[in-house]
Structure 1
Amino acid sequence: MLDKLMGFLSGERPDAETGSEEELKIAVAALLIEAGKMDERFDAGERRAIRDLLSQRFDLKSSELDQLMATAEARVEGSEQYYPFTQLICKRLSGSERVEIVEMLWRVVYSDGVLDTYEDALIRQVAALINVEDRDRAMARQRALAALEQER
């Protein structure tokens, strides 16, 4: 109890506020899944893009990816708000890391070759919630498009 009080007074955040590393992974995965589902066509290409991005970002094995995807999909189905996910990302990640998340979102929505207006609106909203400037969002979009072009 005294340790918690001392931590609070020294500015440390309680675990519930900052979230665990696992919760951060779930939050990122949930936003990527939401982006994939935004155009109501969550296809194998988008799912593969999400798995690849999560694997690269968090250095996950296939079994860990399966579990993360299942957990994140359940969270997406059980929530109608992005705020819990974006709040955790905003608190845990640096500005450049948050821009990387926006770039990941762009890569997911462009993985099917078409940008839907709802997908664009989602990324605009998420970027605002995680304090990513419009300029950085636009640059992340260009990097995502360039990366996807190289992959093709």
Structure 2
Amino acid sequence: MLARLKAFMNSIDAGGAPSAAPKDALATAVAVLLARAATLDGSFEAQERAVVADHLCNRFDVSREEIDRTLDEAVNSADEMVDLYGLIRTVKDRMDEEGRIDLMEALWEVVYADGELHDYEGQLMRRLSGLLYVSDRESGEARKRALAKLGLEVG
């Protein structure tokens, strides 16, 4: 998966289209988006790492060992990436509306994994909601479900 992640990131940097991306481009795009959300507050804590890894394992049926080996590379890619549009394009092209809403829920769970929403994380979530064509209402409901999963108060 590490080699595929690097190849995918190179295709995005080169302006490659989703069809030029590796077979598991969706998994890679989701991994980088989740990593980006997890690290925006300046840290990548154990709770955030566990939430990201769990979502990737469950969604893409990848072993936890493989996720653990490649998660640091996804974090590095997310930190270096300025433009999210290549990732967003891949997600929009390969996920239906329900999948994009599920992704928003996973992203909300990641940003709240440490118990609070930081300003940069909130800004990213608003931006991603619009870019992924997820309505404010759907994003809000996804946020409530994520908070409930984490045992945090909705408010």
Q: TM-score, normalised by structure 2?
A: 0.80
Residue 112 of structure 1 aligns with which residue?
A: 114
**What percentage of residue pairs aligned between the two structures are identical?**
36
Map residues 3-152 of structure 1 onto 2, 5 A cutoff: 15-16=19-20, 19-149=21-151
Give the letter for the 1:120 counterpart: G
Relative distance call for 1:54 and 1:21 in structure 2 (3 A) is: same
User: What is the alpha-carbon distance in structure 1 between the residues aligned to residue 96 and residue 23 of structure 2?
Assistant: 14
Please, what is the CA RMSD of the aligned residues?
Answer: 1.9
- Pair 1:115–1:61, CA change in 2 (3 A): same
Number of positions where the alignment pairs a residue of Structure 1 with one of Structure 2: 136
Amino acid paired to 1:43: E
What CA distance in whole angstroms lies between the structure 2 residues aligned with 1:56 and 1:14?
A: 23
- State which structure, 1 or 2, has the greater radius of gyration over its C-alpha atoms: 1
- Name stretches of at least 5 consecutive residues in structure 2 with no aligned partner: 1-16
**Does the 8 Å contact 1:90/1:130 carry over to 2?**
yes
User: Could you say what secondary structure the match of 1:141 adopts?
Assistant: helix
* Closer/same/farther in 2, CA of residues 79 and 14 from structure 1, 3 Å limit: closer
Gaps of 5+ in 1: 1-12
Deviations 1:77-111 (A, max 9, x none): 44211111111001100001000000000000111
